[in-house]
Amino acid sequence: MLKITKKVEYALIAIRHLQENQDALVSVSDLSASYGIPKEILAKTLQKLASANIVKSYKGPTGGYKASKKIAKTTLNDFFEILEGPTAIMDCYFQDGCDHLNSCNIRTPINKINDSIRNLFNNLTLADISQ
């Protein structure tokens, strides 16, 4: 219930490390070894962050990842959605029909809760939660 995934947890760890070592080029193997994170999962996670320009990737030997300038300004909502898709406490929030078709009496509360959470995450940046 309302838990974040390991993917997001691992991404946070990686991002924090890259931010604290701004100019270093860090490989997945290094991060994986330092923090005890399965290499393949972390790799795929960083690939997603790279394609969203949150981090920069460099291929080949001596390659790895660096923090991008965009990183601090990124909102929590964008960060989560890059990794996990739309932020919603129920799937129906982003769908046309609702799960209960005829007799749904929770559309209003579900939307209110979700709006509040999205509003919260849209107004918190990765920089905000780091200090």
Partner DNA sequence: TTTATATACGATTAAATTTGTCGTATATAA
Partner DNA sequence: TTATATACGACAAATTTAATCGTATATAAA
Phi-psi region of 90 (alpha: psi -120 to 50; beta: other; left: phi over 0): beta
Interaction of residue 107 with ligand FES, rule CB under 6 A? yes
- The minimum distance between CB 116 and its own copies, in angstroms, equals 6
Position among 60, 69, 102, 131 found at the interface with DNA (CB under 7 A)? 60
Q: Are 10 and 34 in contact (CB under 8 A)?
A: no
Phi-psi region of 124 (alpha: psi -120 to 50; beta: other; left: phi over 0): beta
Nearer to its own copies, 7 or 61 (CB): 7
Q: Are 73 and 125 in contact (CB under 8 A)?
A: yes
64-123 positions binding DNA, by CB under 7 A: 64-65
CA distance 87 to 78: 9
- The minimum distance between CB 131 and DNA, in angstroms, equals 26
What residue ranges bind ligand FES (CB under 6 A)? 90, 92, 98-100, 104, 106-107, 110
Binding site for DNA (CB under 7 A): 1, 3, 5-7, 27-29, 38, 40-41, 43-44, 46-47, 50-51, 57-65
